[in-house]
Amino acid sequence: MSIQNIMVIGAGQMGSGIAQVCAQAGYSVVLHDMQEEFVQKGIGIIQKNLNRSVEKGRLDESEKESILSRITASVSLENASNADLVIEAVVENMDVKTQLFKMLDQYAPAHTILASNTSSLPITEIAAATNRPEKVIGMHFMNPVPVMKLVEIIRGLQTADDVYETIESVSKKLQKVPVEVNDFPGFISNRILMPMINEAIFAVYEGVATPEAVDEIMKLGMNHPMGPLTLADFIGLDTCLYIMETLHEGFGDDKYRPCPLLRKYVKAGWLGKKSGRGFYNYGV
C-alpha cells in the first residue's frame, strides 16, 4: 500500500510534531484543526523547531523551506478526501475520537488508513465507529515527537496485516522505531509509566517524601533522566489522571486507582507546566 499524502488531525504539540516529521520524511502533509489560528500556531511550532535545527547545522535554509512547503493548512475535514493516511492527534477522549472517526470514514477514500495517536484508549472501540475497522490502527508517538524515536503500533481486533505492515514501513521512513503492541488499556508505555507516576504521587500524599526527594531518588538511584513528578507536570496532571482512570476501568483492578492527591490537584486546576502549577511552581 503506497502512502504519499498524510493528513494530521490536531495541530497541538503532538500533532504539529507528527506533521513535522512526516514533512521531513518527504510526505505531503495536511495539518488540520478546527480553527485557522490553531493551525497557524502549530505551523509556528514547526517553524521554530526547524529554525533551531538550522542554527545547530542539522538543516540548511533551503531544506527548511522545502519541508515547510510540504505542509498545507486545513480547517475542513473534507480535505481527508486526498489522504492515503490520516493520523488523529486530538484530545484523549473516547467520545471525541469516535465522532471524529465516523466523520473521517465518510470523507476519506476507501483505501485510506485511519490511525490514532491515542495514548491509552482501545483501538478496537475507535475502529467500531467506522465501516473500515480493518484499516484502523494505533500509532502512538512519544513527546516531543521530533526527538523521541519510539512509535507504539497498536493492532485493533480487526486490523489487517497489510495495514500494520504499511504503518510499520511509514514509521521507519519517519526514522522512528516501531514496536508492535496488542490492544490493551494503556498499551505498554503508559501501562508501566503511569502506575509508577501514580505511586510517586502516593508517596507524596502519604508524607513519605517531598516531590523533590522522590524525583532526586529516581534520577540518582534509578538513572531516570527526569523524576516521575517532574515528568507528570510535563505530561499534564489531567492527562495522567485520565490515563489512570482508563487503566482502572479497563482492568477493573484497584492497583490502578488514581491517587486522591492527583484528583485534588486536577480539580484545583494545578495541571502541571501548562497551567503554571503542579507538583512544582512554574511561575506562569
Query: What letter would DSSP give residue 77?
Result: G
Give the pLDDT confidence of 141-196 residue by residue, as tens digits.
Answer: 998 999 999 999 999 999 999 999 999 999 999 999 999 999 999 999 999 999 99
At a CB cut-off of 8 Å and minimum separation 6, what does 69 contact? none
pLDDT recorded at residue 283? 81
Tell me the mean pLDDT in the region 36-57. Answer: 96
Q: Is 63 annotated in the active site? A: no
Tell me the mean pLDDT in the region 48-67. Answer: 94
Tell me the mean pLDDT in the region 242-270. Answer: 96
Map residue 108 onto helix, strand or coil: coil
Rounded to whole angstroms, the Cα distance separating 29 from 190 reads 28
pLDDT band at residue 1 under the 50/70/90 scheme: confident
Give the pLDDT confidence of 112-139 residue by residue, as tens digits.
Answer: 999 999 999 999 999 999 999 999 999 9
Share above pLDDT 70 across residues of the chain, in percent, rounded to a whole number: 100
Domain positions in the chain are 5-182, 190-274
Map residue 241 onto helix, strand or coil: helix
| CA-based torsion, 205, 208, 211, 216: positive or negative | negative
Assigned CATH class of 5-182: alpha beta
pLDDT band at residue 253 under the 50/70/90 scheme: very high
Which one of 140, 171, 198, 275 is the catalytic residue?
140
Which one of 49, 74, 117, 119 is the catalytic residue?
119
Q: Is 152 annotated in the active site? A: yes
Whether the pLDDT of residue 284 is over 70: the answer is no
Q: Is 180 annotated in the active site? A: no
Tell me the mean pLDDT in the region 17-44. Answer: 97
Q: Is 61 annotated in the active site? A: no
Q: What is the dihedral of CA 246, 249, 254, 260, to 10 degrees?
A: 60
Which one of 16, 152, 198, 275 is the catalytic residue?
152
Map residue 104 onto helix, strand or coil: helix
Whether the pLDDT of residue 27 is over 90: the answer is yes
Give the pLDDT confidence of 69-119 residue by residue, as tens digits.
Answer: 999 999 999 999 999 999 999 998 999 999 999 999 999 999 999 999 999
Q: Which CATH number fits domain 190-274: 3.30.470.20, 1.20.1250.20, 1.10.1040.10, 2.170.8.10?
A: 1.10.1040.10
Rounded to whole angstroms, the Cα distance separating 127 from 137 reads 8
